[in-house]
Amino acid sequence: MIVEQLSDANGADPSIQERPDYGRRDPRQIAIYLRNLAARGDFVTIEFGGKQMASQLLNVDAAGATFIFDRGSNEEQNQALLGAAKLVFRGSPEGVRIEFDSGAPSETVFEGRPAFRLPFPEVVFCVQRREYFRVETPIVEPYVASGKFPDGETFRCEVHDLSLGGVALKTHKPRISELEIGCTLEDVKLNFGVFGQLSIDLQLVSPRFIVTAKGDRLYIVGFKFPDLPGNAERTLQRLITHLEGKRRALASR
């Protein structure tokens, strides 16, 4: 769990609620969107009372029209959440931006640990198209990202997928997924083999994890490019075109 004070809660992320055509009001559709968040282990951002918290959905009860989400370890923060007049949830399951509001949650227990429960929102707003085309990167001889955390500790991750808007990194080490949402890693080296190396700033937007067949956690952390120079964009475009061409060639065999 991460909680931080927001300098401008309303401006932290442009709302998509001003686009009524993106609203989903059917409880069955709402259940699908919430289940996708829970099943993938995606983090959601919750804004309340000028604060921001990262959490995860733990369970969705379609019949009862309720969902359960994770509780923090700081009791003062939990009480602030319980007393908030309004919560704003934002998430990006599989690149689909969703947003919904709620009132204060109730306390519950899920699988033996404290959690929060809420009824389904009346409406979930979503944008179901990606801004950028995304491709998966090679598993054999993977591309690599390396750099430093804000405290100077070094990291090395594999590149999971790629677009002109950002990159997803994967690692079995949890440290990178524990960074605050919105945190920027400066001068990260992205090594793309024969396509060369780029040094780019990365801003964290969506940490999550999956459980592998061996029972290990694999952290997949999505970043966006806050500022992509023209030469870097051209390199990425050539690389993305190359990877998509290889994918189509293999699929046609």
Clarify whether residues 14 and 118 are in a common domain: yes
Clarify whether residues 114 and 176 are in a common domain: no
| Residue tagged 């007393």 (tokens) | 83
Clarify whether residues 141 and 242 are in a common domain: yes
Q: How many C-beta atoms surround the C-beta of residue 125 within 10 A?
A: 21
Q: How many C-beta atoms surround the C-beta of residue 98 within 10 A?
A: 24
Phi and psi angles of residue 25, each rounded to the nearest 5 degrees, phi first: -115, -15
Clarify whether residues 123 and 165 are in a common domain: no
pLDDT at position 28 over 80: yes
Whichever domain contains 69, its CATH number is 2.30.110.10
- pLDDT tens for residues 41-65? 777 888 888 887 878 899 999 999 9
Strand 66-70 with 184-191, pairing: unpaired
How far is it, in rounded angstroms, from Cα 240 to Cα 61? 39
Clarify whether residues 94 and 156 are in a common domain: no
90 versus 18: the higher-pLDDT residue is: 90
DSSP β-bridge partners for residue 218: 210
pLDDT at position 95: 62
Strand, coil or helix: 249: helix
From the list 198, 178, 180, the residue with the least C-alpha distance to 188 is 198
Asked whether the beta carbons of 168 and 223 are under 8 A apart, the reply is yes
Q: How many domains is the chain built from? A: 2
Least confident of 16-30, 83-97, 119-133, 223-237: 16-30
- pLDDT tens for residues 144-166? 999 999 999 999 999 999 988 89
Domain stop point among 127, 160, 184: 127
- pLDDT tens for residues 179-203? 888 899 999 999 999 999 999 999 9
Whichever domain contains 233, its CATH number is 2.40.10.220
Q: Which two tokens stand for residue 97?
A: 């931006």
Clarify whether residues 123 and 139 are in a common domain: no
